[in-house]
Amino acid sequence: MNMMKKMILGAVVLPLSFASASAFAAGGSHHEGGMKGGEGMHGSKCMMKANKKAFKDLDLTDAQEDQFDAMRDARKAEHKAKKGHKRQPTAEMKADHQAMQDLMLADNFDEQAVRSLAEKMSERQIDRRVEMMKKRHEMMNILTPEQKTEFKANQDKYIADCAK
């Protein structure tokens, strides 16, 4: 490997290494008082378990359980239809990654191009989050107002256990 490639590689890898090391040193949390276990910004396993337990503690009617089963079956069918596409980067994602690499290695920093690319990538992330929240909202609307209150109380209790 010639000297120039080594220097470019060092310029890229070194800052990433320091960022990773500082994230691990801080417990992997993105904010003070983060969840234990350093599970990061996507929520901890404990948080997911808290939500699951909060639902299980509810006294659902047979009709509500049937609605949840139908939603789960629809989601399973959706995943089955996408089975061959599991986490495979799309051509668009690959192109974006290549564009990031090109911008990073360019002789001059093009802030506008970086901003444009970042906004494009963020928009896709926003679309995924909106879809996820839409599905969660549908689930919560199966519950009665009393069950929603109970769910929130259960969730708060289990989330408090995560912080310990």
Residue 78 has pLDDT above 60, yes or no: yes
Residue 9 CA to residue 20 CA, distance in Å, equals 16
Global pTM? 0.56
pLDDT category, 35, cuts 50, 70, 90? very low
40: left (phi over 0), alpha (psi -120 to 50) or beta: left
The domain 44-82+120-163: what is its CATH number? 1.20.120
Confidence of residue 11 (pLDDT cuts 50, 70, 90): low
Of 67 and 16, which is predicted with more confidence? 67
Dist CA 129 CA 123 (whole Å):
10
> What is the pLDDT at residue 40?
47
| Interatomic CA distance for residues 8 and 96, integer angstroms | 20
- Report whether 154 contacts 53 (CB < 8 A): yes
Kindly list the domain boundaries of the chain, sorted by start residue: 44-82+120-163
Residue 125 — pLDDT band, cuts 50, 70, 90? confident
